[in-house]
């Protein structure tokens, strides 16, 4: 690939539209079965076909996750599902199970095969083996350093693409292969139903002192010993590309449409900036700040630069410093706009206007009216229509937000 692909999460159709609008080269999404994120709304087969068509009309690729580890009872319906994905034109299937890969090659021959990070690919011998089995892409384990990835890339045929996660939540288990959820909550993480016990607070009980719960570390709030920080590689686009990663994957199918828009948009601008002058890549601070304006945990750089300090032990809370106030539905050349309300805002508030492909700008709205044209000094009814004037034309799905 001449320029790294930006691969964005699409947990439902709204998130997909925002990811596409803000610059995704490809999206990954799932049906109602066989996907690793049952917490997302996901797509029926008919909705998947609609989503794939929507992407293709905009020159965006659509990859469907079929990456659970299904039992024999679930395998019976797999051929019908794979055939449907093949017929609707899904660009690739993301798989983690050898049996699923074998079935995909038979029942979905038009779809490329991408091998999921769940398979824990950490060496070039594994990439070669998956390539021989028919894979066109591998998603490397998140535990690799950039030096290790560069070595794997150098030892791997150019026809096999390399993908890696660059942003979002991290799993405390190796390549996400966790048994805690199944053991503690009877919810199988390897079949898409993780209860996220790594985010829980844990205490120790001594054998002869039942009922006496002691913190693992002395802290009034308890200790979140399994709770990982969030990955953020936006400042290091050049180093990711230099290591040979061809697809930059953003985690977050269960997160909001706002998250999909902001993070995809930030990486889109950063990759374009890198491509314009790779030797002098230096993203401005306002761009680096963008990913801090979504809900996130403390950021770190994962395993890319060696053994990291991965755990955030104080709490499992998200950092949420910004609210989405409204989304632009229509706006003409004079800036006359119809907004869809999301959170409370008032006339004269300092808001940020974020448009696809652009840095955010501060605006203040005046002459706000409701859908009937009546004066509206305060917008506080969810999903209401707000009529106002923006400083200039803004495309649909532009976002107005406010710092809390």
Would you say 288 and 234 are in contact if contact means Cβ atoms under 8 Å apart? yes
Same structural domain, 270 and 381: no
Residues of the domain holding 105: 5-171+227-300
pLDDT tens string 23-45: 999 999 999 988 776 656 789 99
CATH number at residue 276: 3.20.20.70
pLDDT tens string 90-143: 999 999 999 999 999 999 999 999 999 999 999 999 999 999 999 999 999 999
For residue 110, what pLDDT is reported? 98
Would you say 341 and 326 are in contact if contact means Cβ atoms under 8 Å apart? yes
Distance of CA 381 to the CA centre of its chain: 29
**Start-to-end Cα distance in the chain:** 41
For residue 393, what pLDDT is reported? 97
Q: In which band, very low, low, confident or very high, does the pLDDT at 368 lie, cut at 50, 70 and 90?
A: very high
Cα 151 to Cα 85, 118, 125, 219, 285: the distances in Å are 34, 21, 11, 43, 31
Pairing of strands 378-379, 345-346: antiparallel
Same structural domain, 281 and 360: no
Count of structural domains within the chain:
2
Flag whether 258 is in a domain: yes
CATH number at residue 352: 2.40.30.10
Same structural domain, 288 and 337: no
Same structural domain, 354 and 289: no
- Give the C-alpha separation, 343 to 346, whole Å: 10
Distance of CA 290 to the CA centre of its chain: 15
Region 243-264 average pLDDT? 96
Same structural domain, 332 and 396: yes
Residue with tokens 């034109």: 89
- Give the C-alpha separation, 288 to 266, whole Å: 8
Residue-averaged pLDDT of the chain: 89
Cα 297 to Cα 181, 265, 291, 313: the distances in Å are 21, 19, 11, 11
Q: Name the token pair of 135.
A: 């894979």
Same structural domain, 296 and 327: no
Flag whether 384 is in a domain: yes
Same structural domain, 106 and 58: yes
């Amino acid at each position: 690939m001449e320029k790294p692909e930006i691969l964005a999460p699409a947990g439902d159709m709204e998130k997909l539209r925002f990811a596409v609008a803000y610059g995704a080269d490809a999206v990954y999404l799932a049906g109602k079965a066989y996907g690793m994120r049952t917490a997302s709304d996901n797509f029926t087969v008919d909705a998947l076909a609609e989503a794939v068509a929507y992407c293709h009309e905009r020159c965006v690729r659509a990859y469907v996750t079929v990456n659970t580890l299904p039992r024999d009872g679930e395998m019976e319906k797999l051929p019908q599902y794979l055939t449907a994905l093949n017929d609707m034109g899904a660009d690739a299937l993301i798989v983690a199970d050898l049996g699923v890969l074998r079935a995909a090659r038979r029942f979905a021959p038009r779809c490329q095969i991408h091998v999921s990070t769940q398979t824990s690919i950490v060496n070039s011998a594994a990439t070669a083996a998956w390539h021989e089995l028919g894979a066109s892409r591998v998603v490397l384990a998140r535990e690799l350093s950039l030096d290790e990835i560069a070595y794997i890339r150098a030892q791997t045929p150019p026809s096999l693409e390399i993908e890696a996660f660059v942003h979002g939540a991290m799993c405390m288990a190796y390549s996400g292969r966790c048994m805690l959820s199944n053991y503690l909550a009877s919810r199988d993480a390897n079949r898409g139903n993780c209860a996220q016990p790594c985010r829980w607070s844990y205490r120790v009980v001594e054998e002869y002192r039942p009922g006496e719960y002691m913190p693992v570390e002395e802290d009034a709030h308890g200790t979140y010993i399994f709770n990982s920080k969030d990955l953020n590689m936006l400042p290091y686009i050049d180093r990711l590309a230099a290591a040979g990663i061809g697809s930059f994957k953003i985690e977050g199918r269960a997160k909001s449409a706002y998250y999909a828009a902001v993070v995809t948009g930030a990486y889109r601008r950063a990759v374009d900036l890198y491509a314009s002058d790779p030797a002098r890549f230096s993203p401005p601070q306002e761009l680096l700040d963008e990913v801090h304006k979504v809900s996130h945990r403390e950021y770190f750089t994962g395993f890319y630069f060696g053994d990291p300090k991965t755990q955030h032990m104080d709490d499992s809370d998200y950092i949420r410093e910004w609210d989405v106030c409204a989304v632009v539905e229509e706006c003409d050349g004079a800036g006359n706009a119809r907004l869809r309300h999301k959170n409370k805002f008032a006339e004269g508030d300092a808001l940020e206007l974020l448009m696809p492909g652009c840095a955010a700008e501060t605006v203040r709205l005046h002459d706000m009216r409701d859908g009937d044209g009546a004066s509206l000094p305060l917008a506080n009814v969810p999903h209401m229509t707000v009529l106002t004037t923006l400083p200039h034309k803004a495309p649909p799905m532009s976002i107005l937000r406010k710092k809390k």
